[in-house]
Amino acid sequence: MNRRNFIKKSMFGGASILVASSFNNSSVWANTKGDNKLPAILGGQKSHAGVWPAWPIWNPKTDEKKLLDVMRSGVWSRRNTVTEFEQQWAKIIGSKRCLSVVNGTNALNTALAQLEIGWGDEVLVTPYTFIASISSILFNGAIPVFVDVDPETFQMDPNKIEAKITPNTKAIVPVHILGLPCDMEHIMSIANKHKLLVVEDACQAWLAEINHKKVGTFGNAGCYSFQNSKNMPMGEGGAIVSDDDAFMDRCYSFHNYGNPYGSLAGQFSAGTSMIGTKLRLTEYQAAIGLAQLARLEEQTKTRNVNAGYLRDQIKDIPGILPYRLYDNVTQAAFHLFPFRYQKESFKGLSRSGFLKALQAEGVPCSSGYAELNKMPVLKNAFESKYFKMFYPKRRINYEEYAIENSCPENEKLCNEHAVWFSQSLLLGSKSDMDNIAFAINKIHKNADKIKNKFND
């Protein structure tokens, strides 16, 4: 079969800059030498010989002007550009208020702190996430309690939440991990029943929706990350959204030294009213954010179309189990495209062998997260001066905690099954998706040869 690969890369002014509108324009022929039936790892032709869309993307014509305007204004600390970004983010998310902060980690830290989730409290969270979801709980002095995942959706399993609720449970942190929405309707019904606060970690889930309502707007607060690799990149950046004015005023105050809501950067003697710190976004970051916002909806649609197509192309390959979205999901963010790999259907070829073979085909992929519920940070936190001071011994007995917080489904996902493609692959063309499917099919057909050759 003659394999075509399309590169969707444009060069501007000598700099390697990819522009959204160029995605489906330019193309080159793939390296067509060699046997396309033989896996690339065994010397055959690569399934994808082209270049994947680079990340981040910016448009020199429009975006660089925004940044230069900020520089030339001489106003670099928080002012009108940051406010404009916050207003636009609140609008696109469908929330009354938005506060930008330095990153997603501090969005979570702030939201939890200003909802008074802290010392003495237990917070229910998935073990299948990035460390910041957990560290923000510990940072505030609360204890993370892990709810195992539903391996089909990769999300916190709502059916396992109630068994973890104790008199100390104060909140749930649903993490819309990989950009796929949690089952928020189910989670909110449990939270309402048990009067629990909900802080959504939507740090990977910009514009993801359940019944056309954006994730981040279901609970008391929603948090986002705008770090460089994210679908909405600013270098660094984060945001909190909520409809609760009093809470948002406190968050603002906290992010600006504890000075009252509305106090300005550079304002002296503002009447500091609460313990605060400094987490302000700069005007530069907001300018980049506004530029990125202009293309986020279109990119999100492209990722959804490509993810759906790729899912269909690979779902019938034995041993490949793509993610499942909950029925009420109307849009996902697809920060990552996940599937489960079952080596039994690949003649016993290990996941790491499969990943190496897929990478050799020209398809970047990874095995994803390690088990967070077993990270040393938990034991070390429990053994720290403050945890010992604030908690009775029985509540920070790490050995018991480790047993109570074992998550067998998560363990399998992390150590055996999960495979990810990153969001930028999903900005490729339909034929790029075909190349991925072709590569996986090829590996499946030749699994025994790959396994033998590499003594896997």
Ligand X SMILES: Cc1ncc(COP(=O)(O)O)c(C=O)c1O
**Binding region for ligand X (CB under 6 A):** 103-105, 129-130, 132-133, 175, 177, 201, 203-204, 225, 227, 238
Q: Which is nearer to ligand X, 326 or 346 (CB)?
A: 326
Element at 213 (helix H, strand E): strand 213-214
Q: Which is nearer to ligand X, 200 or 456 (CB)?
A: 200
Half-sphere exposure of residue 106, counting CA atoms within 13 Å on the CB side? 21
Amino acid at 53: P
Nearest residue to ligand X on Cβ basis: 104
Phi, psi of 153 (to 5 degrees): -105, -15
Minimum CB separation from ligand X for residue 131, in Å? 8
The neighbouring-strand residues paired with 260 are none
Q: Which tokens belong to 400?
A: 């018991």
Q: Which is nearer to ligand X, 238 or 319 (CB)?
A: 238
Residues 154 and 122: their CA atoms lie apart, in Å, by: 22
Residues 101 and 256: their CA atoms lie apart, in Å, by: 10
Phi, psi of 19 (to 5 degrees): -115, 135
Q: Which is nearer to ligand X, 123 or 132 (CB)?
A: 132
Q: Which is nearer to ligand X, 19 or 113 (CB)?
A: 113
Three-point CA angle 165, 214, 372, nearest 5°: 45
Minimum CB separation from ligand X for residue 178, in Å? 9
Length of the chain: 456
The neighbouring-strand residues paired with 223 are 201, 240
Minimum CB separation from ligand X for residue 132, in Å? 4
Minimum CB separation from ligand X for residue 56, in Å? 14
Minimum CB separation from ligand X for residue 71, in Å? 24
Minimum CB separation from ligand X for residue 108, in Å? 6
Cβ(173)–Cβ(146) under 8 Å? no
Q: Which is nearer to ligand X, 104 or 289 (CB)?
A: 104
Residues 335 and 358: their CA atoms lie apart, in Å, by: 20
Q: Are strands 209-210 and 213-214 parallel, antiparallel or unpaired?
A: antiparallel
Minimum CB separation from ligand X for residue 353, in Å? 27
Q: Which is nearer to ligand X, 6 or 334 (CB)?
A: 334
